[in-house]
Every structure is written in structure tokens, then in C-alpha cells.
Amino acid sequence: MTTTPFADTTARHLIAGIWSEGGAERQSLNPATDEVLGSYFDADLAVAQAAIQSANAAFRELDWATNRELRGTVLWEIAAAIEANLERLALAISLENGKPLGQARFELSIAAPKLRYFAGLALTDSGSAAHVYPGSTSMLLKEPIGVAGIIVPWNSPAILAIRSLAPALAAGCTTVVKMPAQTALTNALLAEVLDGVESLPKGVINMFTESGDAGAKELVSSPDVHVVSYTGSTAVGARIASAAGERLKKVSLELGGKTPMIVFADADLDVVVPTLTAAVTTFAGQFCMTGSRILVERSISEDLKRRLIESLAAVRVGVGTEDDTEMGPLVDHAAVERVERIVAGVDPSRVLLRGGPIEGPGAFFSPALIEVQELSCALIQDEIFGPVATFELFDDEDDAVRRANATDFGLSASVWTRDGARSQRVAERIEAGTVWINAWAQILDQFEEGGFKKSGLGRLNGLGGLAEFQEVKHIFRSTV
């Protein structure tokens, strides 16, 4: 029997260091078993407004914005707290989100290094000054923009909250974090861990859980929130950008993707096949960088097709807390029904591996692989957010690039070849914010990531990620 990671099975909001019960009480379910894990308070507009008020007061009244030493200390202590509670958080994610424990542990393992990286920037990032001509001095000051609204998706709630929190806190912003209802108990556990950080001033981090969008809309429209960081779908991101534009509010958006995995004939298929399998099935395909498009040079297509079908069919789908599980469930039964409608609508002659819903409790869906050549096909143009991939053929380098760039998305891509010159040429021609060569899903704290085209605005990680939460002020001083 699985031990519960939750000290309290009723999830509340954390506002100004006080636990709040605002909103209706609802149930949280395990998507692998359909069992009730506990309950949560579903935030209403008043909760969001209270969180914004708390963050705004903290920004105006505390020395958080000007105390670099404190910010560095807090980020370092949060890193230690995440590490100390990693097993509890991983189990919570596996139970409530469904993903295998190993995948939950992995995504949490990258949180502490990220926090420590931004702790370093909190202490070292600075502006500049110069004498432009006699009798004058010009200075550039980097200042926190103010209150940051952070809207987090359900697929990786803890690490994606930390991914925006770390640079926001390093910059000197105070924060309001809107967490997803699908992982309410995990959200509360993360808030508990953060609240236990001794050096963290009350009101600097405020967190609430919401199933709807009233609170999220308030973050976008409120004049007391000065920047919004959102991770999620392109459709919602476009609405956020439009609404924020009315106030000329700064937004950072990481949105949808259709990652092309481009396999040339000289690629090492013994390495490629397991990577493609992982790219399709990690987090059950509920990942913005899921390798949902397999582009294969025609001369090796039959060999790769056979091997990939065998590999995907062998993926062990099951409860995330079981040791042999390689892929967990989708987030809920509505997701299963949505993905099944997509696969069921495909011409059967194009289906290489049918996949589909698995009988019994839980929101399980086995992987599917579908051969497609028409670039206008919805399977290529739309983000599916499930373990479904297209299998597409190309004839040469130009054809591969043309196909890879033929969608409105541009978050990431992967190129597989032993020809170093070709890999560099192709990478430079692909319209995507991140391109991996003979690799997939490598994200580094020191290097920016983000989307081209409809996959986003702004950047995460690196100095660019910090800049999303800063204003730059020029001060000119005449000494004459």
C-alpha cells in the first residue's frame, strides 16, 4: 500500500503566510485509479484579489526589492527545502498527476540547481555606469518590475512553478502563483515547503489553486500585477497577450509545440529508437516538447518504422507508483476521450500502431503512431497533448527542413545524423527556439529557452529569463 505524502488531505491557499480556505471545496482524484485523494478549496475571485494585495504590499513595504543578500539566501534555502522534501513531492506528483515516480523525481531534481543558479544571479547581476563626456555620469539600474503573476500548468506543476519563481525572486519581484486544480494537493505541499523556508518574508510568495480562470484573468488585468509569466496552450496564451496588451503589461509565454524529430539515414538507430520512444511517451505525451512528429529519411523509413512500432508497443503503461511503469495515465478521462476522438478519426490505412484507451479504472491511453504526409493534416498542425505521434517521410535535407517548419509552432526540434556539418546547417535553418542535435529535451539553467512563432514570447532560464522580471532605468547626472 502506497504511503501518503500529504500531512493534510485538504488543500488550502497560502496568502501572506496564512492558510486560506476561500472558494468551494472539491475532490482531488488519482488519474491512475480514480480514487479520491483528498479535497481542495477552489479559489474564487476574492482569493486572487487577496493574493495580489498581499504581494503588492510586500513589494511596497519590505526591503525585498533592494536586499540582494536576502534574495540569494532565500533562493538557496528553497533549493535545500526542495531537496529535503523531494521524495514527498515526487510521490504527490505521481499520485495526483499520474506520472511514474522516476519521472517525477527527475523533474524535481532539476529544481534545486535552477534555484541556486538564480541565487547566484541575485547576488551578481548588475547594471552599469560610465562617463559619457566631461561633467556627466550615466547609470543603468536593473530594477524588479514589481508583482509577478505566475500561471502554472498541471503537467509539471512543481518544477514549472519554480522555473518562473526563481528568476522572479532573484530579480526582486514579489509573486502570486496561480496553480492548477488537477494537482491541488501537490500545490499545497509545495506551498508548505516554501512556507517553511525560514528567511522568506511573508507575502513574497502567495499561492492559490483554481479550476477556472477568474483568478488568472485578474492577474492579467489587475494594475497591481506588473508582469505575467504563463506556461500552457497557445490559444490561452494568445488571449493573455491580448488582454495584457490593453495595459501594455509585460508577458512571458511558453506555449504549445509540435517538436519534429528529424532522423537522417546515417543516424544510429540503436540510439534513436529508445529516444523517440521516450519523446513520445514521457509524461504520457503531455509535454510541450513531446516528440510528436517523427520525420524520417525515406531510405531508412521501413526499418525505423518496424523498430519504432515494436518499441512503442512494448512500453509498460500503468500506475505511476509501480516500479515497472514506464508511462502513466493521462490527466483525466476527458483527456482520454479527446485523444481517442483524434485517433479514431484517422483513416485506418494510415494507422501504424492504434493505441487507445485501456479498459479498467484510470485514464490510461496506450501510444499511437500514424503515418501522415499531408502537411495540412490536423495531426501535424495541432498539438495533441497525448502519446500520439505522426510518422512522416522526407527525401533530402531541404525537404526535411521544409516539413519541420511547416507548422505555426516553433518551440523545439531534434536532429539525428552523424554528419556534423549537416546537423549544424539544419539546426540553423529550423524555426525553433531550441534545437537538439543527437539529443532530446536537454534544458540548461544557463541557456535561454523559448518559442518561435506561436510557441511563445520571451525567454526562460539564463540572463534572458531574469530580464523578463526586470526594468532598466537610465539615470543621467550632470556634475557641472
Over residues 381-410, mean pLDDT? 98
pLDDT band at 3 (very low <50, low <70, confident <90, very high): confident
* Active site annotation includes 383: no
Question: What is the model's pLDDT at position 2?
Answer: 62
Q: Is the pLDDT of residue 1 over 60?
A: no
Q: Is the pLDDT of residue 184 over 60?
A: yes
Question: What is the model's pLDDT at position 4?
Answer: 85
CA distance 56 to 16: 11
What CA–CA distances, in Å, run from 37 to 1, 28, 32, 187, 234? 14, 6, 11, 13, 31
Which cell is 292 given?
510528436
| Positive or negative: CA dihedral 206, 211, 215, 220 | positive
pLDDT digits (tens, 9 = 90+) for 61-80: 999 999 999 999 999 999 99
Q: Is the pLDDT of residue 343 over 80?
A: yes
> What is the residue type of 310?
E
Over residues 227-233, mean pLDDT? 98
Over residues 277-297, mean pLDDT? 98
CA distance 424 to 260: 16
CA distance 40 to 11: 4
Closest to 55 measured CA to CA, from 213, 182, 178? 178
Q: Is the pLDDT of residue 395 over 80?
A: yes
Residue among 77, 210, 218, 254 flagged as catalytic: 254
Burial letters for 86-102: b for 16+ Cβ neighbours within 10 Å, e otherwise? bebbbbbbbbbbbbbbe
pLDDT digits (tens, 9 = 90+) for 304-341: 999 999 999 999 999 999 999 999 999 999 999 999 99
Q: Is the pLDDT of residue 282 over 60?
A: yes
Question: What is the model's pLDDT at position 404?
Answer: 99
pLDDT band at 365 (very low <50, low <70, confident <90, very high): very high
Q: For domain 260-444, give the fold.
A: Aldehyde Dehydrogenase; Chain A, domain 2 (3.40.309)
pLDDT digits (tens, 9 = 90+) for 234-276: 999 999 999 999 999 999 999 999 999 999 999 999 999 999 9
pLDDT digits (tens, 9 = 90+) for 138-158: 999 999 999 999 999 999 999
Over residues 110-130, mean pLDDT? 97
Percentage of the chain beyond pLDDT 70 is 100
Over residues 166-179, mean pLDDT? 99
Q: Is the pLDDT of residue 303 over 80?
A: yes
* Active site annotation includes 254: yes
Specify the 3-state DSSP secondary structure of 452. strand
Question: What is the model's pLDDT at position 156?
Answer: 97
Residue among 107, 288, 297, 371 flagged as catalytic: 288
Give the CATH architecture of domain 10-255+455-476.
Answer: 3-Layer(aba) Sandwich (3.40)
User: What is the model's pTM?
Assistant: 0.97
Domain extent listing, the chain: 10-255+455-476, 260-444
